[in-house]
């Protein structure tokens, strides 16, 4: 054991690579603090762009060969490259630490409230002397915010609700959690005597946000896990340490629980720590009804373990087929499994194309040929170019004339392509009265029209619903993009009658989008199930603004699986010929 501890400790001194998300978060914080301080907007914008670029890089920054290669990343430049290198080397940024000393911590905390960006935080501080959460609560109670421009009744109500919920545990986007969970899993796999490490919990179920991480470690013999975790660079604190369980807090504040089990219990532990609490209760009840006991160590008849080495062993012993981790939420999956009615869930490889992507003609970051090359590299067969309409306020949004020229460009590009097709499309704003931001005369020339709401999110439910229904009545609309408008952790879904939207989509017909952007994942899993129940096909779309963002389609597929969707339920999991025929049915 002493020798093992020494080996584990030596392995644990290897520094964990700083996740790209940590660098992006540092740049975002720099931009926020500079904005609160009233600094130059161009400098602020540079940090914002850098954070966005870093988040969409297909490679880890730690893999770049020094400052020279970092400097070659489009949009970074030498100054930001030096800051990235400083973060990678020291895990801190001196300029950020200096800014933190100038901006009160309470003001920084206010940035976490929905609707409060740095400009509004600065206004609260300069006009009302607000320095933190408590000051804001008192100002709201005294109706002092009504004198400030841009702080209307709707925002005040949102702030009051956010302050009430401020004590809720923090949650991270799945895509952010992945940057911490997977390196830790790989590190634990490298420890002596470890034979298997799996990430369990809500992460494995593919939830759009993750509150903490659960890892199951299978080891042959004793393991000094505490020593290994203490030396892991991303671990900030070890809150509990025992022979079979350790709890740690990572540098970003995320809680991690690691359980160590013997090989005979590996499957039972993984199943136990993967399913939701409600799913676990139902499974234990099923075991009890058969005179058995189910826990993280196995399935037991009396003291004899009859299953436990694999998850399938547990399920087979309980008379059930495989239940995919994404379904383990107690939403009818156990009864469906009993009846043999679980769906064959869609997989990423089922996708044939992507029906929502942007180029540098609007707010994308790469020209059309690069986007097409990236799609082909992802083994897709087709891609719709759907640049924004001008009304959105995108600097280079397309008007009818520019869209007409892009249509000609796509036709010319298709002449040069083999075994791939570029569809002509546009993402068109739905105006507050339900009209579209581009005329029907140009939209009729497109293969696909993606209609979307990008403004006036706070309309009452009846008005917001009528707005969308009027848009769906337009003769060219094919797909309703990101149908609830949510941004995870930033903006709640707008108020809308989704039942009426689904009924209208089926009757028209048109399709609904599952937007794969990590901060959207809109529709959620429950609405995906509702779309299936109404017979409305779903488009799993990347909404990519660069070729690297096509990788986000994997997140959309996770969400679709959580929504019980099969390949036949997904529009772009069909061959191009079928997709074109279905899109043609949306032309009134």
Which residues are paired to 248 by β-bridges?
A: 238, 256
Quick check: is 5 in a domain? no
Phi-psi region of 423 (alpha: psi -120 to 50; beta: other; left: phi over 0): beta
Q: Which of 452, 469, 437 is nearest to 515 (CA)?
A: 452
What one-character-per-residue DSSP string does 422-485 give? EEEEEEEEBPTTS-BSS-HHHHTT-SEEEEE--S-TT--HHHHHHHHHHHHTSTT--EE-STT-
Separation of alpha carbons 237 and 252, rounded Å = 11
Sheet holding 304-307, edge to edge: 293-295, 298-301, 304-307
Alpha-carbon dihedral 123, 129, 132, 138, rounded to 10 degrees? -110
Separation of alpha carbons 584 and 571, rounded Å = 13
The structure tokens 């895509």 sit at: 175
**Are 358 and 432 within one domain?**
yes
CATH code, domain with 457 = 3.20.20.140
Quick check: is 270 in a domain? yes
**Are 63 and 93 within one domain?**
yes
**Are 240 and 301 within one domain?**
yes
CA distances in angstroms from 150 to 155, 307, 322, 462, listed in the order given: 8, 61, 53, 24
Quick check: is 183 in a domain? yes
> Which of 286, 316, 339 delimits the end of a domain?
339
Quick check: is 1 in a domain? no
What end-to-end distance do the CA atoms of the chain give, in Å? Answer: 74
CATH code, domain with 79 = 1.10.150.110
Q: Show the tokens assigned to 136.
A: 């804001």
**Are 76 and 24 within one domain?**
yes
The structure tokens 């707008």 sit at: 494
The parent domain of residue 119 ranges over 20-164
Q: Which of 369, 435, 365, 423 is nearest to 394 (CA)?
A: 365
**Are 369 and 305 within one domain?**
no
Interacting residues of 382 by C-beta distance below 8 A, sequence separation 6+ = 352, 353, 354, 375, 420, 421, 422, 423, 576, 579
> Which of 284, 316, 339 delimits the end of a domain?
339
Q: How many residues does the chain have?
A: 588
Interacting residues of 250 by C-beta distance below 8 A, sequence separation 6+ = 180, 234, 235, 236, 256
How would you write the pLDDT of the chain (588 residues) with one tens digit per residue?
333 444 444 444 445 789 999 999 999 999 989 988 888 888 999 999 999 999 988 889 999 988 889 988 888 989 999 999 999 999 999 999 999 988 878 888 888 777 788 888 888 888 888 888 888 888 888 888 887 887 888 788 878 877 776 666 789 999 999 999 999 999 999 999 999 999 999 999 999 999 999 999 999 888 899 999 998 999 999 988 888 899 999 998 999 999 999 999 999 999 999 999 999 999 999 999 999 999 999 999 999 999 999 999 999 999 999 999 999 999 999 999 999 999 999 999 999 999 999 999 999 989 999 999 999 999 999 999 999 998 765 657 899 999 999 999 999 999 999 999 999 999 999 999 999 999 999 999 999 999 999 999 989 999 999 999 999 999 999 999 999 999 998 888 999 999 999 999 999 999 999 999 999 999 999 999 999 999 999 999 999 999 999 999 999 999 999 999 999 999 999 999 999 999 999 988
**Are 113 and 153 within one domain?**
yes
pLDDT of residue 11: 42
Quick check: is 10 in a domain? no
The structure tokens 């870093």 sit at: 54
Interacting residues of 298 by C-beta distance below 8 A, sequence separation 6+ = 264, 265, 268, 305, 306, 307, 308, 314
**Are 362 and 248 within one domain?**
no
**Are 354 and 393 within one domain?**
yes
Quick check: is 6 in a domain? no
pLDDT of residue 166: 64
Q: Is 50 in contact with 82 (CB distance < 8 Å)?
A: no
pLDDT of residue 15: 57
Task: Give the E-state strand segments of 338-381 in sequence order.
Answer: 353-357
**Are 290 and 210 within one domain?**
yes
Quick check: is 15 in a domain? no
- The phi, psi pair for 444, rounded to 5°, reads -65, -15
**Are 478 and 508 within one domain?**
yes
Quick check: is 4 in a domain? no
Give the SS3 label for residue 181: helix
> Which of 109, 131, 164 delimits the end of a domain?
164
Give the SS3 label for residue 177: helix
User: pTM score, two decimals?
Assistant: 0.87
**How many beta carbons lie within 10 A of that of residue 410, not counting itself?**
21
CATH code, domain with 272 = 3.30.460.10
Q: Show the tokens assigned to 110.
A: 């206010």
What one-character-per-residue DSSP string does 54-99 give? HHT-SS-GGGS-HHHHHTTSTTTHHHHHHHHHHHHHHS--HHHHHH
pLDDT of residue 163: 79
**Are 413 and 559 within one domain?**
yes
| Number of domains the chain is built from | 3
**Are 403 and 435 within one domain?**
yes
pLDDT of residue 3: 39
Separation of alpha carbons 562 and 175, rounded Å = 16
């Amino acid at each position: 054991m002493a020798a093992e501890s020494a080996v584990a400790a030596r392995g644990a001194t290897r520094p964990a690579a700083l996740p790209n998300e940590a660098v992006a978060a540092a740049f975002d914080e720099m931009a926020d603090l500079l904005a609160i301080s009233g600094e130059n907007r161009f400098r602020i914008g540079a940090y914002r762009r850098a954070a966005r670029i870093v988040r969409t890089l297909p490679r880890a920054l730690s893999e770049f060969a020094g400052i020279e290669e970092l400097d070659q990343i489009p949009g970074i430049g030498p100054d930001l490259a030096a800051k990235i290198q400083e973060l990678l080397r020291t895990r801190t940024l001196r300029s950020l630490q200096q800014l933190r000393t100038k901006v009160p911590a309470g003001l920084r905390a206010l940035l976490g409230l929905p609707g409060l960006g740095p400009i509004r935080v600065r206004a609260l501080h300069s006009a009302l002397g607000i320095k933190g959460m408590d000051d804001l609560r008192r100002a709201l109670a005294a109706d002092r915010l009504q004198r400030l421009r841009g702080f209307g009744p709707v925002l005040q109500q949102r702030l009051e609700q956010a302050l009430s919920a401020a004590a809720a545990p923090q949650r991270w986007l799945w895509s952010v959690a992945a940057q911490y969970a997977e390196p830790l899993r790989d590190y634990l796999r490298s420890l002596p005597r470890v034979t298997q490490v799996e990430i369990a919990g809500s992460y494995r179920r593919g939830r759009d946000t993750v509150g903490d991480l659960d890892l199951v470690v299978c080891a042959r013999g004793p393991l000094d896990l505490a020593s290994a975790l203490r030396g892991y660079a991303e671990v900030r604190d070890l809150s509990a340490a025992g022979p079979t369980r350790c709890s740690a807090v990572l540098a970003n504040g995320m809680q991690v629980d690691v359980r160590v089990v013997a090989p005979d219990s590996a499957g039972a532990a993984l199943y136990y720590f993967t399913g939701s609490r409600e799913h676990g209760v139902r499974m234990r009840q099923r075991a009890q009804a058969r005179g058995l006991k189910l826990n993280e160590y196995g399935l037991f008849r009396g003291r004899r373990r009859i299953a436990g080495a694999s998850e399938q062993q547990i399920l087979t012993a309980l008379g059930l087929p495989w239940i995919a981790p994404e379904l383990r939420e107690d939403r009818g999956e156990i009864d469906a499994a009993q009846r043999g009615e679980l769906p064959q869930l869609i997989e990423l490889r089922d996708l044939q194309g992507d029906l929502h992507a942007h180029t540098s003609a609007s707010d994308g970051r790469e020209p059309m040929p690069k986007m097409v090359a990236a799609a082909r590299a992802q083994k897709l067969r087709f891609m719709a170019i759907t640049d924004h309409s001008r009304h959105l306020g995108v600097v280079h949004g397309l008007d009818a004339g520019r869209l007409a020229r892009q249509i000609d460009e796509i036709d010319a590009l298709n002449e040069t392509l083999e075994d791939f097709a570029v569809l002509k499309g546009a993402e068109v704003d739905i105006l507050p009265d339900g009209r579209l931001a581009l005329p029907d005369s140009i939209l009729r020339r497109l293969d696909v029209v993606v209609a979307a709401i990008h403004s006036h999110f706070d309309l009452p439910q009846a008005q917001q619903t009528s707005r969308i229904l009027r848009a769906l009545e337009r003769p060219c609309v094919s797909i309703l993009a990101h149908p609830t408008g949510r941004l995870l952790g930033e903006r709640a879904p707008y108020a809308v009658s989704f039942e009426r939207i689904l009924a209208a989509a089926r009757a028209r017909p048109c399709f609904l989008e599952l937007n794969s952007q990590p901060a959207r994942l809109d529709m959620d899993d429950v609405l995906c199930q509702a779309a299936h129940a109404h017979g409305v096909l779903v488009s799993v779309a990347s909404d990519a603004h660069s070729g690297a963002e096509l990788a986000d389609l994997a997140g959309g597929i996770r969400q679709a699986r959580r929504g019980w969707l099969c390949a036949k339920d997904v529009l772009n999991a069909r061959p191009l010929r079928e997709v074109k025929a279905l899109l043609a049915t949306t032309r009134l």
